[in-house]
Amino acid sequence: MNSFKQNLKYISLVCLAVVFTQCKTKSEKATANSEQSEIQENTEALHISTSEFGKLPSGEKITKYQLTNKHGMEVAIINYGGVITNLKVPDKNGAIEDVVLGFDSLEDYLIPPPYFGAIIGRYGNRITGGKFAIDGEEYTLAQNDGKNHLHGGNKGFDKVVWEVKPIQEKDYLALQLSYTSKDMEEGYPGNLKTIVTYTLDNTNTLKVAYEATTDKKTVVNLTQHSYFNLSGDFSKTILDHQIMINADAFLPVDSSLIPTGEFKDVAGTPFDFRSSKVIGKEINTENEQLERGLGYDHCWVLNNQNNGQQLAATAYDPESGRIMEVFTDEPGIQFYTGNFLDGTLPAKGGGTYAKRTGFCLETQHYPDSPNQKEFPSVELKPGETYKTETSFKFSTK
Ligand code: GLA
């Protein structure tokens, strides 16, 4: 009897221990599961998908990479030109719409140029006469904008195929685009190894980080040429958007849009965007500079230079409530109001892009810097790394 009781005691103890261990493993598993599902939830929300966008005349396939964050913000990038084809962000009611101009088909990107959404290189904006010298040696570039060189030439970085590496982390997604521009390509000296990394995180920020190295002294000025229309409706102009540009001066241009070298105070001119102002407010006032640009097409001299990432500009569309803030470490920003759009290019989803249906905020060094010694230098030497970053942060109010 005693031994029976003892056995029973022993069996109950074993049972208790088994139940306890099972409970423990269950609860441990539950924590592990919830951690896992959090990660899964996060990575499920943050995801990259790919699809074929079209084929080049050579037969080469072009891929579209679609990055989506947990708020449903989406950026689509193709390996041709590193072009941002779509950028979908929520409005004040949560409606997610596309806020960048672009085309539905690859063929339309192959016909030059409005540079919709593209990476611009080696040199963003104009170089006078398509000529510059380094250490007394003169280099000749394509004159693809009247007598001037524009946006890297006939086949700039906007028209080449980039190698793409997608990156998925817990809190962000990235696309690393690489391209090596050969020595004397488009007339520029040095083999230039370029890496442009687009990053999308859950704060609705799209970051563009640029890096380049060379094996021979050269000039570099990379930028991103997205045309924004925060209304999400490409049949509307951007004239009602409000813009702030954090700059006390801008660079007046000659009749071929080359900076004259003067740093002009914006005070008392239509170029004063130090406090947020409706784009259309003074765009048609009588002003030689506005006439030359056919509107705004100038580089602003940003305040707080050489001080890391600074707020360069803010754009706000009161109707949709969308806000875009631009942060950069560059000294300049080209504010271009889509003055050359003329209703001939096909819009995504139908219709055409009329004049001023998009604006660009191209962070960069000043135009024609290789020929204007008082401008910050754009020279890159072997052993140095060109490094710059710009972020576009979206919110609503
Ligand atoms: C830049 C230039 C403009 C125009 C556009 C592309 O913003 O400053 O003059 O060339 O690119 O059309």
* Average pLDDT over all residues of the chain: 91
Higher pLDDT, 12 or 252: 252
22, pLDDT greater than 70: no
- How large is the average pLDDT for residues 57-65? 98
Is 151 annotated in the active site?
Answer: no
Each residue's pLDDT tens digit, 215-233 = 999 999 999 999 999 999 9
Mutate to test the pocket of ligand 1, among 336, 339, 353 (most ligand atoms within 8 A of CB): 336
10, pLDDT greater than 60: no
- How large is the average pLDDT for residues 3-9? 46
pLDDT for res 330: 98
Q: Whose CA is nearest to atom 5 of ligand 1?
A: 114
Pocket of ligand 1 (CB under 6 A): 114-115, 125, 150, 257, 297, 334, 336, 340, 360, 362
- How large is the average pLDDT for residues 85-100? 98
pTM of the model: 0.89
Is 362 annotated in the active site?
Answer: yes
Distance 225 CA to ligand 1 centre (A): 9
- How large is the average pLDDT for residues 68-83? 97
Q: Whose CA is nearest to atom 7 of ligand 1?
A: 336
Beta carbons within 10 angstroms of residue 305's beta carbon: 12
pLDDT for res 112: 79
**In the chain, pLDDT over 90 holds for what percent of residues?**
88
**In the chain, pLDDT over 70 holds for what percent of residues?**
89
284, pLDDT greater than 60: yes
Instruction: Name the pLDDT band for 346 (thresholds 50, 70, 90).
Output: very high
pLDDT for res 113: 73
- How large is the average pLDDT for residues 279-289? 98
